Structure 1
Amino acid sequence: MAAKTQDYTAMMKDMMGAFPVDQKAMESMFKSQTAFAEKMSAVAIDAAQQSTDLSARWTQDTLTKMSAITQARTEPADYAKAMTDFATASAESAAEHMAAFADIAKKVQTETLELMMAMGKDMSTDMQDVARKATSDMTSAAKKASAK
């Protein structure tokens, strides 16, 4: 005769029912998490847009400077001068654009840190509220149990 298979779904339901969950606290935590994710996404998207714009400007600047190289010259030395001028301008442009990329990264880092600090503060407050409620509930339950 085969043994009856245990109903694990019912067992899990009973087990989870034994641990009361404050739905309001869960809802509050969910809202906090989604708000945090929205803000972090906004920071990332803004940084991506700024980086893309900067890359496009850098490309446009480079292409504009390259047009000077492609012009026909009468003297061979003029080609060397045009190439030297292009190399100098490209090096200066690279330094400027890399500094702009660093500014974008610094802004992202600062905004991320501010969001993380705010989230930590919110979570700490939420945890304190949950701990107070749990302590109150446990004290109340203990008083009821000792009164019997």
Structure 2
Amino acid sequence: MVSLTINGRHYSVDAEPDTPLLFVLRDTLGLTGTKYGCGIAQCGACTVHLDGQAMRSCQVPLDSVGTQAITTIEAIEQDDVGRKVVEAWVALQVPQCGYCQSGQVMAATALLKQTSQPTDKDIADAMTNLCRCGTYNAIAAAVRQAAA
């Protein structure tokens, strides 16, 4: 059994130590807001926070989590910065298909928690998640609005 703290709640999970965190979140615990995209940490659809750092959960083995607090999209609006990011996403109607957007919101929230007034370069450097619909300009605008 592995003990995890996810969105402020404690869970005991019976899974192999090398199981990717993504599959524990989605398949074992039913937290399906975190999406499976590529499985090789390239697209960012599976982004969650580990102790506030944006991580691609498809490549985080369960046994590497340790005592780090996990935050998923399901709880991001409980955070003041996360709430501002979601509000900006809605106000600017960022999503098209929406599949990647939970990962985008998680990446943007982590950025703004580290750099409250990011430059355009900061945004470009941090927002490396892929968006098949190409909403990159709207994503950058929403990050700037959330920072304002």
Instruction: Tell me which protein shows more helix as a share of its residues.
Output: 1
Bigger relative contact order, structure 1 or 2, given CA contacts below 8 A and separation 6+?
1
Q: Decide which structure has the larger Cα Rg and report it.
A: 1
Same fold (TM over 0.5): no
TM class, shorter-chain normalised? under 0.3
Q: Higher strand proportion, which one?
A: 2
